Amino acid sequence: MVPLTFATRGIACAPPAGCEVELEVACSNCGLDPLCNVLDYAGEKSGIPDGLLLRHRQVARGETIFRMEDSFRSIFAVKQGSFKTFIPRPDRVAQLLGFHLPGELIGAGAIAGESYPCTARALENSRVCEIRLGRLPECGRPLQQVQQAIIELLGREVAFNNALIAALVHQSAEQRVAGFLLSLSERLQQRGMPWTEFNLSMSRSDIGNYLGLASETVSRTLTRFSKAGLIDVRHKRVCIIQPEALAEIILE
């Protein structure tokens, strides 16, 4: 069965000077790399209008990069750290839509519309690249190729969401949590980040909200996995010990 992920993927940028490079996704591993290549951003500002590409903006933990209903301006790529996207609800607790790891895109869902359909907030101190998509025509690149890149990007997103829906609806709590852990691990691996041991930057209730479980259930399931020797959890730190066993659980 398809692991629980949700996806949007990032914008290529030059690596920064003198910070923990190992925790930052390389441009070649960033989901927006294809788009950046089309735009010829790989080389330093080669003919790019100023302010069209904002590299490595710092975002503090808890800060939001856009809110629901804000008019659409940019797509963001996570370079470092992590984000959550959610729909604030007047009456009830907010509805979590997804988590975004290094190399992944945020805001792609708004491309077709006028405004962002959700709010995006940093789960930890992070860095993002930003492309002012509305100003793309200025850059003089062939629009056709840019559009093609966007279509492929959205297509992956659609395919992904379909898989996610199919997976989520029928799975037990154990399967969802196992899938969630494997999904995080796979996505980190895909972007060239450490993937056997990593941080759960989101809270248990965020995970529960995302998976449709109570936070207590998430907690219980994690400790059960830990006692069974499948993983090691200490606070927010997770180590995947037996990925095959987790995969087994998902398959029932």
Q: Is 220 in the site for DNA (CB under 7 A)?
A: yes
Task: Determine which residue in the list 50, 114, 142, 235 makes contact with DNA, applying CB under 7 A.
Answer: 235
User: 144 vs 234, which CB is nearer to DNA?
Assistant: 234
Distance between CA atoms of 190 and 157, rounded to whole angstroms? 16
Region near DNA per CB under 7 A, out of 52-60, 112-120, 145-153, 211-219: 211-219
| Complex with a second copy: residue 147 or 189, whichever CB lies closer | 147
Nearer CB in complex with a second copy: 80/217: 217
Site for a second copy in 126-145 (CB under 8 A): 143-144
Q: How far apart are CA 130 and CA 85, in angstroms?
A: 16
Is the CB of residue 235 less than 8 Å from the CB of residue 119? no
Contact 169, 2 (CB under 8 A): no
Binding mask 138-177 for DNA (x = CB under 7 A): ----------------------------------xxx---
Distance between CA atoms of 64 and 81, rounded to whole angstroms?
A: 13
Reference 85, options 118, 49, 114, 40; nearest CA is 118
- Residue whose CB is less far from a second copy, 29 or 145: 145
Helix axes 173-190, 243-250, angle to 10 degrees: 130
- One of 45, 57, 67, 236 touching DNA (CB under 7 A): 236
